Amino acid sequence: MRYFKIEDFNCQHTGNNKMSWDFLNKLDDLRHECGIPFVITSGYRDPSHPIESRKARPGTHAQGIAADIKINSAFQAHLIMKKAFEAGFNGIGLAKNFVHVDIRDGVGKSWTY
């Protein structure tokens, strides 16, 4: 990877990391296309992570195919979301201070938090 260390994606609860290399390479390419630094606020989440343990089934973070990227402006949010869509990410969520991207199976989905 050009822009990240694998440790950037460790579970904040357990320190475990089972990220998909396909996802990480795709995210690295997205970072390159955007041309701005990415701060990862959430990468892998172990199934025991408090957010994941409340779910009926593990989410994309627990599958190692998702990341949340910190944003500081509407411009950053728009740029990341536009480029992520173009790059084939099919789960894209917008929150006040981050953009979620993933490569889930099936039909794509976008949302706001």
Structure tokens at 72: 């500081």
Q: What is the pLDDT of residues 42-69, one digit of tens each?
A: 999 999 999 998 999 889 999 999 999 9
Does the global pTM surpass 0.85? yes
Residue 55 inside a domain? The answer is yes
Look at the chain and report how many structural domains it folds into: 1
Q: What is the CATH number of the domain that holds 29?
A: 3.30.1380.10
Can you give the residue range of the structural domain that contains 104? 6-112
